[in-house]
Amino acid sequence: MSEKNRDKSLSDDSHCNDGRNDGCSQDAAESNEEKHLTLAQMFGSAFAAMIGVQSKDKRERDFAKGKASHFIIVGLVLTAAFVLTMAAVVSLVLSLVA
């Protein structure tokens, strides 16, 4: 494919960004879906970051495709779950000792 034809096909797929996907190529539709992180990816990244094992590739992906507000919310949820889990474990241990 010549440079000119490749550029034309890329510009033809530019309307795929408007959310309609009518007549878009499969590659353009897939790239639109990969722009945002899934909820599972955000929780996985936040959990890995909390325990200090986040890989450089995933960290770069998070900064490129994720929103700070989403990660803040996920971080708050994970922190609350951690605190509640620790409180339940301490309460259980104290009730078994007494």
Q: What's residue 35's pLDDT? A: 82
Helix-helix angle 68-97:39-51, to 10 degrees: 60
13 pLDDT higher than 60: no
DSSP conformation class of 36: S
Distances (CA, A) of 8 to 3, 12, 24, 37, 42: 9, 6, 13, 29, 35
Residues 6+ apart with CB under 8 A from 16: 24, 25, 28, 29, 32
Q: What's residue 69's pLDDT? A: 94
Q: Look-up: residue for tokens 């897939």?
A: 30
pTM value is: 0.61
- Give residue-wise pLDDT tens across range 27-86: 554 555 568 999 999 999 999 999 999 999 999 999 999 999 999 999 999 999 999 999
96 pLDDT higher than 60: yes
Count CB atoms within 10 A of the CB of residue 74.
20
Distances (CA, A) of 72 to 5, 26, 39, 68: 43, 33, 13, 6
Q: What's residue 45's pLDDT? A: 95
User: Between 14 and 79, whose confidence is greater?
Assistant: 79
